[in-house]
Amino acid sequence: MKDSPGSLGSLRQSNRLRILDVLRRDGAASRAGLVRDTGLSRTTVSKLVAELQAEGLVVEREAEDGAASGAVGRPPVALTLNPSAGSVVGIDFGHDLVRVAVADLSGTVVGEDRRDVDVDADAEQAIDLAAAMVDELLARLRRAPAQTVGVGVAVSAPILRDTQTTSILPGWGAFASGGELERRLGRPVVMGNDANLGALAEVRDGAGRGARNVVYVMLSGGIGAGLILDGQLFFGHSGLTGELGHVVADPDGRVCRCGNRGCLETIASAAAILDALRPLHGDDVTLQDAIALAHAGDAGANRLFADAGRTVGQAVGAICNIVNPERVIVGGEMSVVGDVLVDAVADGIARSTIPAIAGDAHVVRGSLGERAEVLGAIGLVLAETDVDAIAAMAT
């Protein structure tokens, strides 16, 4: 018989979920920390933790730095979700690739795969491939699909939060890939824009670790941004935040795919840089070629990347004036150019913000590279999965 609302059994389950929620959110906590963060008594926390340990959902590990707690002698014991109690899947649909990763409940990646495919041109082929890759990777890792708490998906397009759909990618139309993947994989799917998820990943695991107010700038085939405000990924009213590439920089410029003229993407994206390089280096020049030219000291390539970074930085400066971030992270494929690009973004920000805000906004290069989006997809699942789903792993 199910517990009725307000019954002792229902209260016990609610308290268990409060403990699991803290461990999911913070990664690890001591028993004293659980008492503080849940508001439960020490006796209740001790009893429920013992139950969760017996069920295999929670495990103990020694704190990495016992000195940090001020304790003398044996390091304090930290509690974490049992990494082996379940899996999280992340999928990144790039423009020309599908990347899949499997992580444990601590967010540690235990397996990863990548395949090249024209994602933009054929949604069904890309989703077929992604579903097959997930099945293959879970089988190789000997992880049961039923023990997957959720699947996170990163796509290079705006995502409407309520409907989980996009209509921007060429060839995708209004195809609801989240729903289709849920049907194929039989697990809950949550989707996110790649720049938003790149921001989430860099703050959780990369160059933004420890920061609570961050602007993440993704410079690739397109241009996007992700906002972390007061430690939380900011989605806006419909989920359509971060469309930095469609800020108008030249009202008389080229027509953009969005229908406006002179958007940043027409001026400062990888595609715009390659268009400018082709008369000098041939029609087959790639972004990797352009980056190699810049690293080799080619004056033209360096000038193009610097001009692009400065133009983007001026647009980012307007965001900085509004949200006052402590860090601006430059990520995406173009970020590997290095200082010539990152310094130019910083210069552009300095030119378009008040000095105090420019001084707060420390501009750095992202540290996760091309894996940021798939790691962000995993982070999105861990952040948004209802703790009931995690608790269900023990049943």
Structure tokens at 25: 């959110």
- pLDDT confidence of 165, banded at 50, 70, 90? low
Supply the pLDDT for residue 299: 95
**Residues β-bridged to residue 229:** 232
pLDDT at 164 over 90: no
Which of 92-96, 146-150, 171-175, 330-334 shows the lowest per-residue confidence on average (mean pLDDT)?
Answer: 171-175
pLDDT at 330 over 90: yes
Per-domain boundaries in the chain: 8-81, 86-196+374-392, 209-367
- pLDDT confidence of 91, banded at 50, 70, 90? very high
Q: Between residues 372 and 181, which one has the greater pLDDT?
A: 372
pLDDT at 240 over 50: yes
- pLDDT confidence of 367, banded at 50, 70, 90? very high
pLDDT at 119 over 60: yes
pLDDT at 171 over 80: no
Average pLDDT over residues 5-9: 53
pLDDT per position as a tens digit, 32-42: 999 998 999 99
| Count of alpha carbons within 13 angstroms of residue 242, beta-carbon side | 34
Which helix (H) or strand (E) segment is 232 a member of? strand 232-233
- In CATH, what class is 8-81? mainly alpha
Average pLDDT over residues 1-23: 69
pLDDT at 95 over 70: yes
Supply the pLDDT for residue 228: 95
Planar angle of CA 171, 188, 182, nearest 5 degrees: 40
> What count of residues does the chain have?
395
Average pLDDT over residues 251-257: 91
User: 232-242: string of b/e by CB count within 10 Å (b at 16+)?
Assistant: ebebeeebebb
CATH 3.40.50.720 fits 209-367, yes or no: no
Supply the pLDDT for residue 12: 81
Supply the pLDDT for residue 1: 36
Supply the pLDDT for residue 344: 97
**Are 313 and 352 a contacting pair, CB within 8 Å?**
yes
Supply the pLDDT for residue 69: 42
Give CATH superfamily name and number for 86-196+374-392.
ATPase, nucleotide binding domain (3.30.420.40)
Parallel, antiparallel, or unpaired for β 214-219 and 189-193?
unpaired
Which helix (H) or strand (E) segment is 23 a member of? helix 8-26
Supply the pLDDT for residue 61: 76
- Asked whether the CA dihedral 105, 106, 109, 115 is positive or negative, the reply is positive
Q: Average pLDDT, whole number, for the chain? A: 86
Secondary structure letter of residue 100 according to DSSP: E
- Asked whether the CA dihedral 152, 157, 163, 167 is positive or negative, the reply is negative
Average pLDDT over residues 203-211: 90
Supply the pLDDT for residue 169: 61
Q: Between residues 136 and 83, which one has the greater pLDDT?
A: 136
* Residue-by-residue DSSP string for 319-333: HHHHH--SEEEEESG
Q: Do domains 8-81 and 86-196+374-392 have the same CATH topology?
A: no
Give the CA diameter of the chain.
76
